[in-house]
Structure 1
Amino acid sequence: MSCGYRNTTERMVIVRCCGPDQFYLERVVFPFELLSFHCPPEGDVEIWTHGLGGPELLERLQGRELLIEQPFTPAAMNVTTEATPWLQTG
């Protein structure tokens, strides 16, 4: 899935996404920056920052909460391939 996270804080944060099949993504996001990334539907996203006492977990989200756009499938639009021959493969 295509996901997005905007850092609305005035501090740099670290976005970590963990998912099935050993999926792992870790990126630094600067203040007011938008990070676009791909994440499995079952992925968990954590937002971390560094405070005086060390790393601090700011937020924990599911990947679905950061979805930018719905995946396109004919079934999602209630479209049949008989009515739209251009959707057929082969």
Structure 2
Amino acid sequence: MDRVDQLLQDSAVLVRTLDCGYRNASDRMVILRCCGDEQFYLERVVFPFEMLTFSCPAAASVEVWTHGLGGPELVECLTAEDLLLMVPTPAAARDLPFGQSPWLESG
């Protein structure tokens, strides 16, 4: 097998990654755990009203935990696709009413 064939075979094995985001809308600190293929693991503390952005394998599962009176409590289970960040294109941004930005959140 020559080098080009080996590179093509290696690139087919590469895991597709997604850009994801999670906003902690609660008034309590949470822990986000993301587990994916190829021993991918991410664990981050997300403070109240904080936005966490991260990249992970497309098939990853995401768990959000908090600490209650009885110990750790699972708040929600999500997939990476549930948290997929949508990047607006310049054409879509032009169609927004004046004063609205896809990057800002009001309220």
* TM-score with structure 2 setting the length: 0.64
* TM-score with structure 1 setting the length: 0.76
Offset of residue 39 of structure 1: 1.0
Structure 2, unaligned stretches of length 5 or more?
1-17, 88-107
Larger RCO, structures 1/2 (Cα 8 Å, 6+ apart): 1
Aligned-residue sequence identity (percent) comes to 64
- CA RMSD in angstroms comes to 0.9
Select the residue among 23, 35, 42 that pairs with 1:25.
Answer: 42
Structure 1, unaligned stretches of length 5 or more?
71-90
The one-letter amino acid paired with 1:44 is: S
**Aligned pairs for 1:4-83 within 5 A:** 4-69=21-86
The structure that is helix-richer by fraction is 2
Q: In structure 1, how many angstroms separate the alpha carbons of the residues matched to 2:54 and 2:30?
A: 15
- How many residue pairs are counted as aligned between the two chains? 70
